[in-house]
């Protein structure tokens, strides 16, 4: 299949707007440029498809003997739920225990962005981040904990405004050793 063009995608959004407003003619003022704006915004919202974990995590440094937990916490993100195309957002905590090499700390945030700027479900996003860390930097342990509020739950369905969904994925030492895991949770909750 050919890739869908910007013009085709813009037309699809226009159809959706006609469907919502129950019209079949020209879009009214205020909406007439919206299809283009939506597609333009998609380029940013879904920019994660263009990125690659190997590339993001490629620049590593010598850990100089540091073998404790490296944690980047409270990193905000915005993503889109694949079931309803509604936003979900919150914060992520990403950690690893280095063996010989460490990654630039901003790279963990970029890895999060790569996964969040795609159509997602929170469970897979959590798992994917940990999988990438495991595969590319092969640490002693790695973990991701994500807390998020889902637009599809706030605006529709059960309409729960304050429910926070928490997911976590632990590998290596964080999975095997309860001491490493409880130290991590203490650092996250501090």
Binds Zn ion by CB under 5 A, chosen from 53, 81, 94, 144: 81
Neighbours of 128 (CB within 10 A): 18
| Beta-carbon contacts of residue 185 (< 8 Å; ≥ 6 apart) | none
- Piece of the chain touching Zn ion by CB under 5 A; list 24-32, 42-50, 77-85, 163-171: 77-85
* Site membership for Zn ion, residue 78 (CB under 5 A): no
Q: Which of 101, 103, 113 is nearest to 44 (CA)?
A: 113
* Site membership for Zn ion, residue 73 (CB under 5 A): no
- Piece of the chain touching Zn ion by CB under 5 A; list 38-46, 83-91, 141-149, 174-182: 83-91
Return d(Cα 127, Cα 111) in angstroms, integer. Answer: 12
* Site membership for Zn ion, residue 165 (CB under 5 A): no
* Site membership for Zn ion, residue 80 (CB under 5 A): no
* Site membership for Zn ion, residue 156 (CB under 5 A): no
Burial state string for 162-186 with b = 16 or more CB within 10 A and e = fewer than 16 = eeeeebbbbbbbbeeeeebbebbee
* Site membership for Zn ion, residue 83 (CB under 5 A): yes
Q: Which residues bind Zn ion (CB under 5 A)?
A: 81, 83-84, 152
């Amino acid at each position: 299949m050919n890739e869908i063009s910007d013009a085709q995608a813009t037309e699809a959004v226009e159809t959706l707007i006609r469907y919502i407003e129950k019209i079949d003619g020209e879009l009214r003022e205020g909406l007439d440029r919206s299809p283009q704006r939506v597609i333009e915004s998609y380029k940013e919202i879904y920019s994660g498809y263009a990125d690659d974990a190997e590339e993001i995590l490629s620049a590593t440094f010598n850990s100089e003997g540091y073998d404790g937990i490296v944690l980047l916490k409270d990193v905000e993100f915005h993503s889109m739920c694949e079931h309803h195309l509604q936003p979900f957002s919150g914060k992520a905590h990403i950690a690893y225990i280095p063996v010989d090499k460490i990654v630039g700390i901003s790279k963990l945030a970029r890895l999060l962005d790569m996964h969040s700027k795609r159509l997602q479900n929170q469970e897979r996003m959590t798992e994917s981040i940990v999988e990438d860390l495991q595969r590319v930097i092969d640490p002693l342990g790695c973990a991701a904990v994500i807390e998020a509020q889902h637009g599809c739950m706030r605006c529709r369905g059960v309409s729960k405004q304050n429910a926070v969904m928490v997911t976590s994925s632990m590998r290596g030492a964080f999975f095997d050793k309860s001491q490493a895991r409880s130290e991590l949770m203490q650092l996250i909750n501090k």
